[in-house]
Amino acid sequence: MTATYYVYSLKDPREKPARVFYIGKGTGSRSTEHLRKVDDTRKGKHIQEILNSGSVPIISKVIEKLTEEQALQIELEFITSFGTIESGGSLYNTIIPRSIKRKTDDKVTVPNGAVEKAQLGLKLLKDSIVSLSEENPKGITNSDCAHYLGLQSDNDGNQQDYLTYSVLGILLKEGVLESIKVGNRRKYNKL
């Protein structure tokens, strides 16, 4: 039996009406974990601020009985609609890695929600590569990632799997994976 997913919001009850400050998806008790294990993220600090004021964030399941794919799509739509703090919106979601520094050009117009969609896509790619590495403790190659996750590129008939190579590089930089030279190839393992 597959898990039943839902999309939920966290609201700040100190404002009238209560303001949504976080959107997430999950199964089981995922929506309440934020209050049981307050972390050091921007969202966690806001939750702690609410708790310190004597209030408790309001947890609302927005929609239930979803597949994981449906939940991801709906979560993305809500995040895009509300916008994150980085994009001038109100959500404390941190789907944009802080380590990325962007140069901006006034000649380039970035549509609303495009950054959030790209960063959510990147998060899903990273999660799938980490899952693949966890299931293969002897290590995975860039080619494994591209082949088994269906991310192979075709550059005029040449296999140039830059997408997976780039994501592996990000995971190395974030300290999630390590790289080991095996013969003339690199294998990646979860730390």
Of 63, 112, 105, the C-alpha closest to 86 is 112
- Band (pLDDT 50/70/90 cuts) for residue 47 is very high
Say whether pLDDT at 21 is over 90.
yes
Averaged confidence pLDDT in the chain: 85
CA–CA separation, 107 and 128 (whole Å): 34
3-state secondary structure at position 61: strand
DSSP state of 42: H
pLDDT (tens digit, 9 = 90+) per residue, 137-183?
999 999 999 999 998 887 766 667 888 989 998 888 878 899 998 88
pTM of the predicted protein model: 0.56
- Band (pLDDT 50/70/90 cuts) for residue 99 is very low
Of 100, 144, 95, the C-alpha closest to 117 is 95
Write down the pLDDT at residue 89: 84
42 contact partners, CB below 8 Å, separation of at least 6: 85, 92, 94
Q: Is the dihedral of CA 182, 185, 186, 188 positive or negative?
A: negative
Say whether pLDDT at 55 is over 90.
yes
Of 15, 33, 36, 37, the C-alpha closest to 24 is 33
How many C-beta neighbours within 10 Å does residue 73 have?
A: 15
Task: Specify the pairing of strand 177-182 against strand 19-26.
Answer: unpaired
Q: Is the model more confident about 132 or about 112? A: 132
DSSP codes of every residue in 127-190: HHHHHHHHH-TT-B-HHHHHHHTT----BTTB---HHHHHHHHHHHHTTSEEEEEETTEEEEEE
